[in-house]
Structures are given as structure tokens and as C-alpha cells.
Amino acid sequence: MPEARFVVRWPDGAQEEYWSPSLVVHDHLAAGRYRVDDVVARTGAAMDEASDRVRARYGTACTSAAATAAAVRSRAAGHDGDALVEVLSVLPPLPGTPS
């Protein structure tokens, strides 16, 4: 199963890289600016869907996807929900899209 990584710059300027067990994260995030609460919701949905895909393929949920969602929630807790987060990249790009 192809994995993905996404890089986020938080409102305080800190930059973090997160991991997804599936490219499904592209369905939820793209490079751009989002509210903190929106990034938390989108990441949670993406990691739930990614974990479901792992479960369907391997018979067990992906605890690393849950850990990614928890890490984003934890980092977001230090910021106002309406502050802006910048998603710098989601890699690798989907097949057929420019890099």
C-alpha cells in the first residue's frame, strides 16, 4: 500500500511532517492554508479512511494512522481553532498530477 507524507507549518512557525499509510490523504488535504480546526478534522477523516483501507487489506486497523491523527490533534491544541495552518506539501504526488 503506498504511503504518503504531509508537511504542515503551524501558526507559531513550527514545521512538522506527518505520515499516512495511504495516498487517501490527497482526498482531504492539499497544499494551502486551512484553519487549525479544519486541519484537525480533515486529518482525522483521512487517517480513519486510511486505517479502514489497511484493515480491508490486512485484517487489522493501522495504529500508526491513529497516532498521526493524535499527533495532529495534540499539536493543534496549542493554537486557536481559527488560526491558520499552512500545508506545505503532500507527497508523493498522485499519479498523473504535476509534481
Where exactly are the structural domains of the chain?
A: 4-91
* DSSP 8-class letter at 17: E
| Burial of residue 51, with CB atoms counted within 10 A of its CB: 0-12 exposed, 13-18 middle, 19 or more buried | buried
Q: Is the dihedral of CA 67, 50, 76, 31 positive or negative?
A: positive
Q: Which residue bears the cell 482531504? A: 28
Contact 18, 75 (CB under 8 A): no
Digit-by-digit pLDDT tens for the chain (99 residues) are: 789 999 999 999 999 999 999 999 999 999 999 999 999 999 999 999 999 999 999 999 999 999 999 999 999 999 999 999 999 999 999 887 765
